Amino acid sequence: MSCNNITNLLYRLMKLKTNRFKTAREFGKAIGLSHIEMDLIQQKKKLITKLKDKRMELNISQAELANLVGTKQPAIARMETGLVSEVSMDFLLKIAMLLEMSVTIKPTIKTAA
């Protein structure tokens, strides 16, 4: 995201801070996210939940997973708390591979063909 895009996003957020949104999708629309951007966020959130569940099922600590991935434990904690913007899809896929999980991305929205 460029500096101008971030500035515009912050400006829109300041204008919207008095609004209350019923759903994340309403909020995303209000700040100008496209349907595909909102879908990507939802996909990442679902994947993060599955990765955390698998890590716990395998009885692997965040620190152990971080060591396997080549990062530090706080990065795993940020990921698992749902800070979607803090983690790349590459990072999530690397973790999935280390945990021997398959990943399928299915669109949740229909796009015009």
Q: pLDDT-derived band of residue 111, with 50, 70 and 90 as boundaries?
A: low
Query: Is 98 in the same domain as 60?
Result: yes
**42 and 26 in a common domain:** no
The helix, strand and coil proportions of the chain, stated in percent and rounded to the nearest 5, come to: 65, 0, 35
pLDDT at 46 > cutoff 80: yes
Q: Are residues 41 and 81 in the same domain?
A: yes
Q: Is the pLDDT of residue 112 over 60?
A: no
| Per-residue pLDDT at 94 | 96
Please give the structure tokens belonging to residue 54.
Answer: 């698998």
Instruction: State the pLDDT at residue 109.
Output: 63
Task: Give the count of domains, the chain.
Answer: 2
Q: What is the pTM of this model?
A: 0.72
**pLDDT of 37 above 80:** yes
Contact 77, 67 (CB under 8 A): no
Answer for the pair 79, 91: CB distance below 8 angstroms, yes or no: yes
Looking at residue 21, its pLDDT comes to: 67
Q: Range of 47's domain? A: 34-113
Residues 5, 31: Cα–Cα separation, whole Å: 11
Residues 3 and 28 in one domain: yes
Sequence-separated (6 or more) residues with CB below 8 Å from residue 35:
109, 111
Per-residue model confidence as pLDDT tens digits over 11-34 = 666 665 556 667 777 777 777 888
